[in-house]
C-alpha cells in the first residue's frame, strides 16, 4: 500500500468521502489534501477504480519553473483540478473512465494530445525542458518522456472518488469555482496567469514553425487566430491559404462562451430531472442555427435576401451553400425529401462538451447527394459519417468555401479568383 507525503494510508481519503458535498471535496483536495507522489505510480489502492475528482500539486522547484514561464508567481501547492468518469451529457452516454486511468495512463504516462493537463504543462515547459513539438498539440516521443519525468519529479496528487457519475460534471464545476486552481482555464475568471497560459497553449497548438512572439508567426496563422480557430490540423497552402488535401482535414473552431453556457444549462436541466429519464438533448433546429452562425462568422459568406429550402448562405459570387450540423459523435448530415440542393455543403460536427465545432466536409454538395436514394423517400436520410469523411479527402483546394482569413490573405496579389 502506498502512503501520502505525510505518511498516511491511502484508505483514509476514501473514508472521508461524503458524496455530493462540496465542503468535503474541498477538505480532501484543497484544505487538508492527502497527497500522493507521482513518482510512486503505479500502485493499487481503494478509490482509484472509481470515477471522481482529482487535484494536482507542484513542489517549490516546479513552481519556480511555472512562474518563470507564466510571468507571474505560481505558489507551490494546488495548481489543477479535474474530473474523470462523468456521464457525457447531453447524450447521456456513460463513461467507464477511472481515476487510475486518468491519472496514470493520461497524465503521468500519457501524451499531450490526450490530456488537457499535460498539454498545459507542455505549453509552460517548452523552453525550460527543451521540449520538441511534433505537430499541433503534439510532442516528439522523447519530449513526452521528458515531460513525464518532470511530472514524476515535481508533482503530487490527491483524489476524491464518487459513484455519482451522472452528477459528477456539475459537481466538478462547483468545486472548481470554490478551489480556483491557477492552471484551470475553462469556466474560470481571467487572471494574468491564465491569460499568459492561454497564449502559451496557442503556441503549442500552432501549425508550422514554432514562434513565441505572435508577431513573428505567419500572416495566415495570425489571421486564423483572429478568426478564433482553436486548432488547425491541416496545413495551409502557401499560394491560397486554403487547406490542402494531402493530409487529413481537421479544422476546429472554438465556439463562443454563450454556447458553453447553453450546454451547461442543458446539463443542469437533465440532472434536475434525472429521475424522469429525459435528456433535453441539444439537437434539431438549434444545432442547425448554431452551425449557420458559425459559417457566416468564419467563412466568406452572406445571407441570401430570400431564404429557400436547401440554401442557407451565398458566396460573394452568388454560389449557393447549404449548412448542416450534428451534435452526435458518429452521425453524418441528414437530408429530407424535397429539400432544395446547393452548390456547396458545409457540414459541422459540434462537440458541446469541448465547446468546439469541427468542419467534417467543405466542398461540392453534388457528390454527397449522389449517395441519397434516387427516388423520393419518406422521412430523413442520414448519410454515414465515414462516407462524408472519405469524400472530404477528395475535395480539391479550390472546390471548398474559403475561410474569411484565407480570402483576405490571397486577394491582394490576385492569387485567388473566387469560387
Cross-strand partners of 344? 321, 364
- E-strand ranges in 255-354 read 301-302, 313-315, 320-326, 334-335, 344-351
123 neighbors 20 (Cβ within 8 angstroms): no
Amino acid 236: pLDDT: 27
With a pLDDT cut of 70, the percent of the chain lying above it is 81
Whether the predicted model's global pTM rises above the 0.75 cut: no
Place 323 in a pLDDT band, splitting at 50, 70 and 90: very high
Does residue 139 sit in helix, strand or coil? strand
**Once rounded to an integer, what is the mean pLDDT over residues 141-165?**
95
Compute the average pLDDT of residues 297-326.
Answer: 90
Mean pLDDT of the chain: 80
Residue range 192-220: mean pLDDT, rounded: 64
Please name the residues in contact with 200: beta carbons below 8 A apart, sequence gap of 6 or more.
69, 70, 123, 124, 126
pLDDT digits (tens, 9 = 90+) for 194-204: 999 999 998 88
Strand partners, 158: 55
Give the residue, 413 or 369, on which the prediction is more confident.
Answer: 369
> Per-domain residue ranges for the chain?
11-205, 220-413
Residues contacting residue 77 through CB under 8 Å, at least 6 positions apart: 57, 58, 63
pLDDT at 264 over 60: yes
Amino acid at each position: 500500500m502506498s502512503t501520502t507525503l505525510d505518511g498516511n494510508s491511502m484508505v483514509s481519503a476514501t473514508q472521508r468521502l461524503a458524496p455530493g458535498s462540496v465542503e468535503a471535496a474541498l477538505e480532501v483536495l484543497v484544505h487538508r489534501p492527502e497527497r500522493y507522489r507521482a513518482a510512486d505510480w503505479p500502485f493499487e489502492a481503494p478509490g482509484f477504480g472509481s470515477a471522481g475528482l482529482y487535484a494536482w500539486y507542484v513542489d517549490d522547484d516546479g513552481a519556480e519553473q511555472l512562474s518563470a514561464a507564466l510571468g507571474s508567481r505560481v505558489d507551490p501547492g494546488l495548481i489543477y483540478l479535474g474530473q474523470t468518469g462523468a456521464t457525457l451529457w447531453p447524450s447521456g452516454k456513460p463513461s467507464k473512465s477511472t481515476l487510475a486511468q486518468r491519472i496514470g495512463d493520461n497524465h503521468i504516462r500519457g501524451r499531450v494530445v490526450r490530456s488537457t493537463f499535460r498539454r498545459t504543462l507542455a505549453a509552460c515547459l517548452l523552453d525550460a525542458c527543451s521540449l520538441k513539438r511534433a505537430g499541433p498539440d503534439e510532442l516528439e516521443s522523447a519530449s513526452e518522456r521528458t515531460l513525464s519525468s518532470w511530472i514524476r519529479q515535481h508533482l503530487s496528487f490527491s483524489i476524491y472518488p464518487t459513484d455519482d457519475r451522472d452528477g459528477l460534471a456539475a459537481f466538478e464545476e462547483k468545486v472548481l469555482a470554490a478551489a480556483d486552481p491557477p492552471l484551470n482555464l475553462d469556466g474560470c475568471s481571467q487572471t494574468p496567469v491564465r491569460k499568459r497560459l492561454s497564449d502559451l497553449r496557442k503556441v503549442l497548438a500552432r501549425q508550422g514553425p514554432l514562434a513565441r512572439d505572435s508577431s513573428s508567426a505567419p500572416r495566415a496563422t495570425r489571421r486564423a487566430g483572429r478568426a478564433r480557430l482553436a486548432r488547425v490540423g491541416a496545413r495551409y497552402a502557401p499560394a491560397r491559404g486554403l487547406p490542402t488535401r494531402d493530409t487529413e482535414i481537421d479544422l476546429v473552431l472554438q465556439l463562443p462562451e454563450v454556447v458553453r453556457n447553453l450546454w451547461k444549462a442543458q446539463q443542469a436541466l437533465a440532472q434536475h430531472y434525472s429521475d424522469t429519464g429525459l435528456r433535453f438533448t441539444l439537437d434539431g433546429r438549434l444545432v442547425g442555427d448554431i452551425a449557420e452562425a458559425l459559417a457566416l462568422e468564419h467563412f466568406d459568406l452572406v445571407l441570401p435576401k430570400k431564404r429557400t429550402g436547401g440554401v442557407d448562405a451565398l458566396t460573394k459570387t452568388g454560389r449557393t451553400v447549404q449548412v448542416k450540423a450534428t451534435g452526435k459523435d458518429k452521425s453524418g448530415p441528414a437530408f429530407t425529401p424535397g429539400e432544395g440542393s446547393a452548390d456547396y455543403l458545409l457540414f459541422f460536427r459540434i462537440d458541446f462538451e469541448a465547446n468546439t465545432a469541427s468542419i467534417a466536409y467543405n466542398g461540392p454538395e453534388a457528390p454527397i447527394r449522389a449517395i441519397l436514394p434516387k427516388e423520393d423517400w419518406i422521412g430523413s436520410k442520414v448519410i454515414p459519417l465515414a462516407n462524408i469523411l472519405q469524400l472530404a479527402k477528395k475535395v480539391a483546394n479550390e472546390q471548398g468555401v474559403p475561410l474569411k482569413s484565407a480570402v483576405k490573405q490571397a486577394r491582394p496579389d490576385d492569387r485567388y479568383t473566387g469560387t
